Amino acid sequence: MSQLYLFATLADTRIAVETEEVEAVVRLAEISPVPGMGVQVAGLSALRSRVLTIIDAAALIRGAPTPADRRGLAIIANISGHSYGIMVDGVSDICTVQNGRLPLRGQIDRNWAPYARGIVEYADGPCLLVSLSAFIEGGATVPVAA
Amino acid sequence: MDELLQEFISETQETLEALAGEVVAWEADPADRDRLDAIFRFFHTVKGSCGFLNLPRFERLSHAAEDVLSEIRSGNRVADPVTVSAVLSVMDRIGELAEAVAMGAALPNENDDYLIGALAERVAAAEEPACASACPEVEADQPAARAPHGHAPPRTIRLPLSLIDQLMNGVSDMVLARNELSRKLRERSADPELDSAFERLSTCVADMRDVISKTRMQRVDRLFAAIPRMVRDLGRDLGKRIDLSLEGGDVEMDREMVEMVVDPLTHIVRNSIDHGIESPEARRAVGKPEAGQLRLVARQSGNQIVISVSDDGAGINTARLVEKAVESGRITPQAAAQMGEQDKLDLIFQAGVSTAEQVTAISGRGVGMDVVRANVERIGGLISLDNHPGRGLTITLRVPLTLTIIPGLIVRAGGQHFAIPRAAVVEILHDNNETMAVHQVGGAQIATIRGVRHSMVDLEQVLELEKPVQVGPRAIMVVRSSSGVPFALGVSAVENHEELVIRPASPLVMASGVFAGMTLPDNGKPMLLLDAGGLANAARLPNIIDDQAARRQEARADAQTSVEMVAALRFEEITGERRLLKLSLIERVEDLRADMFGQSGGQAFVRLDGRLLPVANGLHRFDTEAVTALHVRDGERELCYPVACVLDIVQMPVVPDMVAMSGLLSGVAVIDGEHLEVINPFALFAALPEQALVEQAPGRCLLADAQDGWMREILAPLLRQAGYEVTIGLPDDGSLGAGDVILCGTAAAAGQAADLTGCPVVQLRASPRAAGPADGSIYRYDQNALMSAIAGARAAAGTRGGRA
Q: How far apart are CA B651 and CA B584, in angstroms?
A: 12
Q: How far apart are CA B238 and CA B136, in angstroms?
A: 12
**B249: CB partners within 8 A, 6+ apart:** B140, B141, B142, B219, B220, B221, B224, B298
Q: B758: left (phi > 0), else alpha (psi -120 to 50), else beta?
A: left
Span B688-734, pLDDT tens digits = 766 555 545 557 777 777 777 788 788 888 888 777 777 777 766 55
Residues from chain A that touch B256, judged by Cβ atoms under 8 A, are none
Q: How far apart are CA B491 and CA B504, in angstroms?
A: 24
| SS3 label, residue A5 | strand
Best mutation target among B506, B509, B537 (most A Cβ atoms within 10 Å) is B506
Inter-chain touch A50–B511, beta carbons under 8 Å: no
Best mutation target among A23, A51, A79, A135 (most B Cβ atoms within 10 Å) is A51
Measure in Å the smallest separation between the Cα of B523 and chain A Cα atoms.
10
Chain B residue nearest residue A142, CA to CA: B508
Mean local confidence (pLDDT), B113-132? 55
Query: What is the model's pLDDT at position B275?
Result: 81
Predicted complex: ipTM over 0.85: no
Residues from chain B that touch A84, judged by Cβ atoms under 8 A, are 506
Inter-chain touch B514–A36, beta carbons under 8 Å: yes
Question: Does residue A32 surpass a pLDDT of 60?
Answer: yes
Residue B282 corresponds to which amino acid?
A
Q: How far apart are CA A37 and CA A86, in angstroms?
A: 16
Mean local confidence (pLDDT), B494-505? 79
Span B742-778, pLDDT tens digits = 887 777 777 777 777 777 788 888 777 777 777 778 8
Tell me the average pLDDT of chain B. Answer: 76
Residue with the larger pLDDT of the pair B45 and A45? A45
Of B93-97, B343-347, B548-552, the poorest mean pLDDT is in B548-552
**B180: CB partners within 8 A, 6+ apart:** B524
B409: nearest Cα among B388, B390, B428? B428
Mean local confidence (pLDDT), B480-500? 78
pTM: 0.47
Inter-chain touch A46–B463, beta carbons under 8 Å: no
Residue B330 corresponds to which amino acid?
R
φ/ψ of residue B687, rounded to 5: -80, -5
Residues from chain B that touch A33, judged by Cβ atoms under 8 A, are 416
The widest CA-to-CA distance across chain B, in whole angstroms, is 132
Residues from chain A that touch B506, judged by Cβ atoms under 8 A, are 53, 82-84, 136
For residues A75-95, one letter each, b for 16 or more C-beta atoms within 10 angstroms of the residue's C-beta and e for the rest, the string is bbbebeebbbbbbbbebeeee
Residues from chain A that touch B209, judged by Cβ atoms under 8 A, are none
For residues B234-250, one letter each, b for 16 or more C-beta atoms within 10 angstroms of the residue's C-beta and e for the rest, the string is bbbebebbbbbbbbbbe
Query: What is the model's pLDDT at position B113?
Result: 73
**A91: CB partners within 8 A, 6+ apart:** A6, A7, A8, A9, A25, A73, A75
Of A66-70, B249-253, B540-544, the poorest mean pLDDT is in B540-544
Which range is most confident: B159-173, B282-296, B467-481, B512-526?
B282-296
Q: Which of A33, A46, A82 has the CB atom closest to B416's CB atom?
A: A33
In total, chain A counts a number of residues equal to 146
Span B614-652, pLDDT tens digits = 887 777 777 777 888 888 877 777 888 888 888 888 888
User: CB-side exposure of A95: number of CA atoms within 13 Å?
Assistant: 10
Of A52-61, B57-66, B346-355, B460-469, the poorest mean pLDDT is in B346-355
Query: What is the model's pLDDT at position B128?
Result: 40
**pLDDT grade, residue B480 (50/70/90)?**
confident
Inter-chain touch A140–B508, beta carbons under 8 Å: yes
Chain A residue nearest residue B177, CA to CA: A48
Residue B608 corresponds to which amino acid?
L
Query: What is the model's pLDDT at position B552?
Result: 55
Best mutation target among B169, B179, B181, B508 (most A Cβ atoms within 10 Å) is B508
Q: Dihedral sign, CA of B121, B126, B128, B131? A: negative
Q: What is the DSSP string of B356-371?
A: -SS--SSS-SS-SHHH
Q: Which of A35, A49, A84 has the CB atom closest to B169's CB atom?
A: A49
Query: What is the model's pLDDT at position B364?
Result: 43
Tell me the average pLDDT of chain A. Answer: 81
